[in-house]
């Protein structure tokens, strides 16, 4: 039997994120203002055809696959990346220092969008907050670090949107926020995991320090629908 995390988007859309899922039985995606990720029960040409009929022309989507694959010609491949999938096996204790994190809500979305635009932790859209559990650290009125959760292929829960303003690096904010998210997931009887670009050596080193181990490499495709 395939591991749940070999197809994390699909398994999230049919379990922990089912309330946010759109689409037919074999292809599902999130609303355009929530997340670009799309999940396939099976990565077949027929499934990509169903998706083509489901979304408007020009929409950009993200596909996560356990192996490299050929994307059908009706889609333009904007970018292809290798990402590491990491699972926390040895939880570490959160060490609080500096300003305490606060729960982020709709009023904080402009600041969240500004921070993710500057730091580029991955897709973050006006309603990505719908995934829930976002927390941030402020210095004065400025949001300088944040993290939240995204895909929930039960019992796994993905820690996502981990980012720190470049002017506030080295203060331990990212580690603190990740560990708080991990503690929340474990308290809910879940298993924390995350994705990271395979060439992001600094982040991978931090994640290893926080008890995460690399489970496997994944292929991530950014695709755009071509006109029919």
Mean pLDDT of 121-134: 94
Position 129 pLDDT exceeds 70: yes
The helix or strand, by DSSP H or E, that contains position 171, with its residue range, turns out to be: none
Whole-number mean pLDDT of the chain? 94
pLDDT score, position 1: 64
Tell me the C-alpha distance between 171 and 43, whole Å: 42
Main-chain phi, psi angles of 56, to 5 degrees: -75, 155
User: Strand (E) positions, 59-177?
Assistant: 60-65, 75-88, 102-103, 135-139, 142-149, 156-164
Mean pLDDT of 140-151: 96
H-type alpha helices, the chain: 8-13, 45-54, 109-119, 173-187, 201-209
Tell me the C-alpha distance between 169 and 89, whole Å: 26
Q: What is the per-residue pLDDT across 73-96, written as a single tens digit (0 to 9) for each?
A: 999 999 999 999 999 987 776 666
Length of the chain: 228
**Cβ atoms of 161 and 20 closer than 8 Å:** no
Q: What is the per-residue pLDDT across 201-222, written as a single tens digit (0 to 9) for each?
A: 999 999 999 999 999 999 999 9
pLDDT score, position 92: 72
pLDDT score, position 150: 97
Position 105 pLDDT exceeds 90: yes
Report the percentage of the chain scoring pLDDT > 90. Answer: 88
Q: Which DSSP state fits 105?
A: -
Q: What is the per-residue pLDDT across 25-38, written as a single tens digit (0 to 9) for each?
A: 999 999 999 999 99
Selection from 53, 25, 21 nearest residue 38 by Cα: 21
Tell me the C-alpha distance between 104 and 101, whole Å: 9
Q: What is the per-residue pLDDT across 153-212, written as a single tens digit (0 to 9) for each?
A: 999 999 999 999 999 998 999 999 999 999 999 999 999 999 999 999 999 999 999 999
pTM: 0.93
Plot region of 202 (φ>0 → left; ψ -120 to 50 → alpha; else → beta): alpha
């Amino acid at each position: 039997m395939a591991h749940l995390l070999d197809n994390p988007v699909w398994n999230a859309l049919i379990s922990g994120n089912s309330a946010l899922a759109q689409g037919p039985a074999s292809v599902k995606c999130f609303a355009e203002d929530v997340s670009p990720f799309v999940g396939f029960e099976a990565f077949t040409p027929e499934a990509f055809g169903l998706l083509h009929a489901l979304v408007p022309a020009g929409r950009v989507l993200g596909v996560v696959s356990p192996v490299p694959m050929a994307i059908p010609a009706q889609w333009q491949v904007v970018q292809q990346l290798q990402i590491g999938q990491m699972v926390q096996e040895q939880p570490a204790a959160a060490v609080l220092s500096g300003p305490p994190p606060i729960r982020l809500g709709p009023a904080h979305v402009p600041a969240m969008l500004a921070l993710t635009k500057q730091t580029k932790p991955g897709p973050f859209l006006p309603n990505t907050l719908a995934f829930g559990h976002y927390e941030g650290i402020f210095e004065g009125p400025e949001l300088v670090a944040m993290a939240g959760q995204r895909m929930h292929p039960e019992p796994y829960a993905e820690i996502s949107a981990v980012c720190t303003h470049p002017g506030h690096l080295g203060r331990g904010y990212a580690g603190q926020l990740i560990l708080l998210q991990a503690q929340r997931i474990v308290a809910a009887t879940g298993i924390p995991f995350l994705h990271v670009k395979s060439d992001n050596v600094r982040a991978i080193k931090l994640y290893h320090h926080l008890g995460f181990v690399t489970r496997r490499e994944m292929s991530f495709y950014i695709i755009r629908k071509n006109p029919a």
